[in-house]
Amino acid sequence: MSESVLDYRELERPRQYGFGVKLFFLYTLNAADWFCTQALIDTGRFQEANPLMASVMEYPIVGFFIKCVLPLALSIFIWLFYKIFKLEQNKFTNFIIYSGVIIYSAVILVHIVNFIILYTA
C-alpha cells in the first residue's frame, strides 16, 4: 500500500532536467536559428535582422563558426566547469538558460512564419 502512495507522489513531483540537458537544448535552438537564418538569407528575399551579425552571415562558413562552433565549445566548457567544481544549479543559472530558451523559441517562431510567407507567396 505504501509503495503505491510513494509512486503517486513521485508522479506529482515536476521533472528536473540536468544542467547538461538544458545547455544542449539551448545550443540546439541556437544551431537551428543559424540554419534557418542561413536558409532564408540564401533565398535572397530575407536578410539578417541583427546588424552585428549581418556582415558575418554574408560568409556562411564564418557564420557557422561564430553561431555554431564557438557556442558549442562554450557550452562544453561551462558544462565541464560545473562538473569539475561540482557546482549546483541555482535560480540564476536556470533563469539565464530559460531566458535563452524563450528568446530562441521566439526567434524560431519568426523563422517558421518567414518560411510560411516564403512558400505561400
pLDDT tens figures, 32-50: 999 999 999 999 999 999 9
Number of compact structural domains in the chain: 1
The answer to the question of residue 3 being in a domain is no
Is residue 45 included in any domain, yes or no? yes
The model's pTM is 0.83
Read off the C-alpha cell for 119: 512558400
In a domain, 11, yes or no: no
pLDDT in tens, the chain (121 residues): 555 555 556 666 666 789 999 999 999 999 999 999 999 999 999 999 999 999 999 999 999 999 999 999 999 999 999 999 999 889 999 999 999 999 999 999 999 999 999 999 7
Q: Is residue 84 part of a domain?
A: yes
Instruction: Return the ∠ at Cα 25 (arms to 24 and 26), rounded to 5°.
Output: 90
Q: Which domain holds residue 69?
A: 18-120
Cell of 57: 552571415
Cα–Cα distance measured from residue 113 to residue 94, given in angstroms and rounded to the nearest whole number: 28
